[in-house]
């Protein structure tokens, strides 16, 4: 069985019904110049019970497509 992909991020929008937008930030050093490179990506995440709020840190995992943009589900609230 394939291991599910887990990502940590912060909720930046909770305006849609049962959908949240989660921002993932990555910090990486450049191989040649050793400069810090910051990358960020937004994910549309399904929240079945509408319990998460804006600014919370959550753990999400990949699942089958639930709509055109949603294929992630909230697993756990890390920090409120």
Tens digits of residue pLDDT in 12-61: 999 999 999 999 999 999 999 999 999 999 999 999 999 999 999 999 99
CB atoms within 10 A of CB 37: 10
Closest CA relative to residue 72, chosen from 53, 58, 55, 54 = 58
Specify the pLDDT at position 80.
77
Cβ neighbours for 44, distance < 8 A, ≥ 6 positions apart? 19, 20, 21, 67, 69, 70, 72
CA distances from 70 to 20, 26, 28, 58, 79 (A): 10, 21, 27, 16, 23
Kindly report the pTM of this predicted structure.
0.86
Q: Which domains does the chain have, with CATH numbers?
A: 6-79 (2.40.50.140)
Residue with tokens 């995440």: 45
């Amino acid at each position: 069985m394939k291991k599910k992909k887990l990502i940590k991020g912060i909720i930046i929008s909770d305006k849609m019904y049962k959908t949240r937008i989660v921002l993932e930030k990555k910090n990486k050093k450049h191989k040649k110049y050793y400069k810090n490179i910051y990358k960020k990506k937004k994910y549309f995440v399904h929240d079945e019970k509408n319990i998460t709020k804006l600014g919370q840190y959550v753990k999400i995992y990949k699942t089958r497509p639930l709509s055109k943009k949603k294929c992630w589900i909230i697993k756990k609230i890390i920090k409120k």
